[in-house]
A = this chain, B = another copy of it.
Amino acid sequence: MLDQEIIAQQRQELRRGSTSLACLALLAAAPDYGYSLLARLAGLGLEIEANSLYPLLRRLEKQGLLTFEWDTSEARPRKVYTTSADGTALVAVLREDWDRITTALHQIGQHS
């Protein structure tokens, strides 16, 4: 029988690469807080843990793919992220890659 842990690991690996792309594309469409982005991702069926998303956003910001501003309107300041011009350029590159892989996977065989 197929080990549940192996399934989970393989599924996570498959998803990981797409998460950066989804975040960059969503934050290009509309700037957002991490917490609210989490809900937008979940609404698309792209579940991610908060403690995975926040480090990812910081990494994308350090890479210059996201920018942020502090929203100080609430008691606790919150970062509002937006996709940078570089991030938007990367979204186009990654979307092309994704589509090429999708085409390849369909060529290999029909869905079972």
Chain A residues packing against B (C-beta within 8 Å): 1-3, 6-7, 10-11, 13-18, 20-22, 25-26, 28-29, 44-46, 63-65, 86, 88-105, 107-109, 111-112
CB-based contact A25/B90 at 8 Å: no
Residue in B closest to A12 when the chains form the complex, CB atoms: B17
Residue in B closest to A17 when the chains form the complex, CB atoms: B14
User: Which 10 A-B residue pairs are closest in the complex by CB-CB distance?
Assistant: A14-B17, A44-B104, A2-B86, A25-B108, A13-B17, A92-B112, A18-B101, A6-B63, A17-B17, A46-B104
Residue in B closest to A112 when the chains form the complex, CB atoms: B92
B residues less than 8 Å from A16 (CB atoms): 13, 16-17
